[in-house]
Amino acid sequence: MSHDQTAHSAERERINAAIDRLMAGAPTRSSGSLTVEALAAEADVHRMALYKRHFDLRELFNERVRNETKQMPASERRLRKANTTLRQSLKEARASEAEARWITEQTILAAAVLTAEANNTDAKPEQEREGNVIPFRKPQPRE
């Protein structure tokens, strides 16, 4: 076994031991929180090692956190929060777009009416037209 393979195996053993200590509530090098950052500190490895070289162990850790503590891993909580925020932003953007479309349609219709009235020499007096005005309803935004 080469030096790189030996170092890799030793690192994996340290990570597995750190997972066991954190799950047992007996940390020796970290705060003991059930996060990838605490796992890296506990195993004495760089955090990025868990994202690049040992992603399977990171996922194993997150799965154990989920199953054994019935907690959601911190990374998943952050993603869910970001997802909720983005969904709300999308809903607001769609509502804003629907309102802008409605305003545009109303402006185009008003311009068409005014143009037609300007071109019509037989237009009725303004008093007679007021009762014929029917307001348009705003469209409901899509979700």
Tens digits of per-residue pLDDT, 76-127? 888 899 999 999 999 999 999 999 999 999 999 988 888 887 777 555 555 5
Cβ neighbours, 10 Å, residue 11: 19
The answer to whether residues 10 and 48 belong to one domain is yes
User: How many helices and strands (H and E) does the chain possess?
Assistant: 6, 0
What's the mean pLDDT in 40-67?
93
> Is residue 142 one of the residues assigned to a domain?
no
At residue 3, the pLDDT reads: 75
23: Cβ contacts below 8 Å, ≥ 6 apart: 34, 64, 65, 68, 69
**Tally of domains within the chain:** 2
Q: Who has greater pLDDT, 35 or 75?
A: 35
pLDDT band at 132 (very low <50, low <70, confident <90, very high): low
Q: Which of 18, 40, 71 is the last residue of a domain?
A: 71
Contacts of 107 (CB under 8 A, 6+ apart): none
Query: Are residues 101 and 46 part of one domain?
Result: no
Distance in angstroms (rounded) separating the CA atoms of residues 7 and 43: 13
Domain-located, residue 99: yes
94: tokens are 């769609």
Asked if 47 and 36 count as a contact pair (C-beta separation under 8 A), the reply is yes
For residue 135, the model assigns a pLDDT of 62
| Residue 81 domain flag | no
- 101 and 58: one domain? no
* 63 and 17 part of one domain: yes
Flag whether 128 is in a domain. yes
Instruction: Say if residue 7 is in the same domain as residue 66.
Output: yes
| Residue 141 within a domain | no
Nearest in space to 95 (alpha carbons), one of 43, 59, 30, 141: 141
Please give the distance of CA 81 from its chain centroid, rounded to a whole number. Answer: 6
Structural domain harbouring 18: 3-71
Mark whether 13 and 67 lie in a shared domain: yes
pLDDT level of residue 40 (50, 70, 90 thresholds): very high
From 37-46, 54-63, 120-129, the region with the lowest mean pLDDT: 120-129
Here the tokens at position 134 are 């029917």
Last residue of a domain, one of 71, 101, 124: 71
Q: What is the pTM of this model?
A: 0.54
